[in-house]
Amino acid sequence: MKIKILEILRAQGNQPLSGEKISKLLGVSRMAVWKHVKSLKEEGYSILTVGKKGYVLEEVPDKLLPQELAVNLRTEWLGHNIIYQESVQSTNDVAKLEAQNGAIHGTVVVAEEQLKGRGRIQRGWYSPKGEGLWLSVILRPDWLPQEAAKCTLMAAVVLHRVFEKLYALDVGIKWPNDIFVGQKKLVGILTEMNAQMDGINYIVIGTGINVNLYQEKIPEELKDIAIGLNTVLGKKIDRVELFAEVCKQYEKIYAEVTETGFAGILDEWRKYSITLNREVLVKGIKESYVGKAVDIDADGALLVECEGQLKTVLAGDVSIRMR
């Protein structure tokens, strides 16, 4: 009912609509309308009461409420099932649990804050309330499990397209999972999978976008590392619009990969890469070495030339430092 009232008020624009008219439209009492309006206000909606004429929806809250995300969404299937929570440990953890319990292909989990946002190799992800897009997409592709590693690269290309389209911003992709602006990290991606030998049960692609980061609140150890879109673009960013475009581009790229495979996406990745043709320090569990990143292979692994040898670096348990 609340959602219906919102729809009606949205359609009215700045023309006030009386509680009586709304109650007639929805076939409920005026008291019921009043109660729902009150509850919407408590959620952060600014609804004005204009004299005796009625209600006007003045402003929606700066939150990722599913009803707001849904209004802006322009996809055929991705994001049609949204799981929203104010606060979670990690959206990837919620997504994995939901996927275990049967969540459909294209489900998106999104939260205002993560208390234990995760990076790779037991690292953390700073995810303050209301300042980012901390989201996880659940996919159930009909691919072989070894294809999943390329999802991280696919997600990076998605974000490149999003930033280019919405803000004409040309970001750099650092292998395998970072989006950089200059020397600073704007996005981190964490892909996780559940599979058998011959098929994928589900893939969760976690995307952490620093959207409206308060520069002063960034913890000391991240001050020289993290940056928000707001700082890059010098304005507050509409997270709902960004969410819609991220979903749209995920859906589009998924169709491309399903139709023609990953090769085209990997080519696009190469174009935006800031890792290739650079000297890198590869730090693995067993060994560390310096070499030149020359390419990625068809599986998305990084090829590093080191003392005349070509080494294949798989994502997952290595860190790469560019020199």
Q: Does a cis peptide bond (omega within 30 degrees of 0) precede residue 128? A: no
Q: Which of 60, 73, 189, 253 binds ligand BT5 (CB under 6 A)?
A: 189
The CB-of-73 to ligand BT5 minimum distance in angstroms stands at 19
The interface region with ligand BT5, picked from 28-36, 59-67, 125-133, 163-171 by CB under 6 A, is 125-133
Binding mask 97-116 for ligand BT5 (x = CB under 6 A): -----------------x--
Q: Which of 54, 79, 106, 206 binds ligand BT5 (CB under 6 A)?
A: 206
108's tokens: 């998106």
Residue 256: φ, ψ to 5°: -60, -45
- DSSP 8-state secondary structure symbol assigned to residue 198: T
Gyration radius from the chain CA atoms: 22
Site residues (CB under 6 A) for ligand BT5, limited to 230-259: none
Of the candidate residues 190, 242, 280, 318, the single one contacting ligand BT5 (CB under 6 A) = 190
Residue among 9 and 244 whose Cβ is closer to ligand BT5? 244
177 interacts with ligand BT5 by CB under 6 A: yes
The closest of 304, 98, 91, 110 to 190, measured between CA atoms, is 91
Locate tokens 């300042």: which residue? Answer: 131
126 near ligand BT5, judged by CB under 6 A = yes
The count of C-alpha atoms lying within 13 angstroms of the C-alpha of 115, restricted to the half-sphere facing its C-beta, is 6
Q: Is the dihedral of CA 9, 10, 11, 14 positive or negative?
A: positive
| CB of residue 163 to ligand BT5, shortest distance in Å | 15
118 binds ligand BT5 (CB under 6 A): yes
Q: How far is CA 132 from CA 209, 210, 232, 243, 281, in A?
A: 6, 5, 14, 10, 30
Residue 147 binding ligand BT5, by CB under 6 A: no
Three-state DSSP class for residue 79: coil
User: How far is residue 249 CA from its own chain's centroid?
Assistant: 11
Binding status of residue 92 toward ligand BT5 by CB under 6 A: yes
Structural contact between residues 266 and 244, judged by C-beta atoms closer than 8 angstroms: no
Shortest Å, Cβ 247 to ligand BT5: 14
Choose one: 200-208, 236-244, 263-271, 283-291; the region binding ligand BT5 (CB under 6 A): 200-208
Per CB under 6 A, residues contacting ligand BT5 are: 90-92, 114, 117-121, 123-127, 134-136, 177-178, 185, 188-190, 206-208, 210, 222, 225-226
